[in-house]
Amino acid sequence: MLFPYGEWVILFLAFTTWIEKRAPRRFFLMLTIAWLLGKGIELTFPSIMPWSWHFARLAVILVFWVWALQRAKRRILPLLSTSFIMSLETLFLVNDPGVIPYGSWLFTVVLVLAAWLTAKCYWGTAAAFTGSILLNQVLVRFTNEGIMRHTDFPDAFVWNFGVVIFAVWAGLLVGWQSWRARELQKTSVEPLLPANGVGVCEHSEERELQ
């Protein structure tokens, strides 16, 4: 995955929230600033090591993790379970690379499922997923010492997969909440309207965000 899907998704969502003046503007502004600062570090202090450090992506992951951790209901157990799965993946890749077909997809899907089953909420899942990635960078750094000549920190596959899945997940949640709010408004307003009247209801979700 050489194309920066994650960056384009974040940029598109940031522009959308600013154009529509939605409440998440502050969140995406923080992510954008973090990415710019990380990119500045990459350009100012280029790495001379065989490993490629993507400080822009790491900065975004760190900010997103702190944001999600503050809103997560469960923190310790999801982080421990996902970190264990990430460690298993790293050891498999170092000792027996290619022994599991489609290993990256398999471990990443299992990682998300483990985060969801232990966290039981969106932000808890996000916190466990991103937190385990950050912690795993240390293990990857030392296990690949003297074995692999090039490693990306963070891995491009995990970065793009994480950004896309949580963006789509959040969009589906917003759509579901919007639909539920409309249905609740219809059921509460219909008995008060005449038989041939037309009710115009303001979107409660949008009102809360603004």
- pLDDT at residue 62, as a whole number: 93
pLDDT tens sequence across 66-92: 999 999 888 899 999 999 988 888 888
Question: How big is the chain, counted in residues?
Answer: 210
3-state secondary structure of 153: strand
Measured distance CA(70)–CA(83) in Å, rounded: 19
pLDDT tens sequence across 133-169: 888 887 877 776 656 656 777 778 888 888 888 889 8
Q: Say what the alpha-carbon torsion angle 71, 63, 12, 209 is, to the nearest 10 degrees.
A: 30
pTM score, whole prediction: 0.73
**How is the chain split into domains, by residue range?**
5-169
Residue spans of alpha helices (H) in 145-203: 156-189
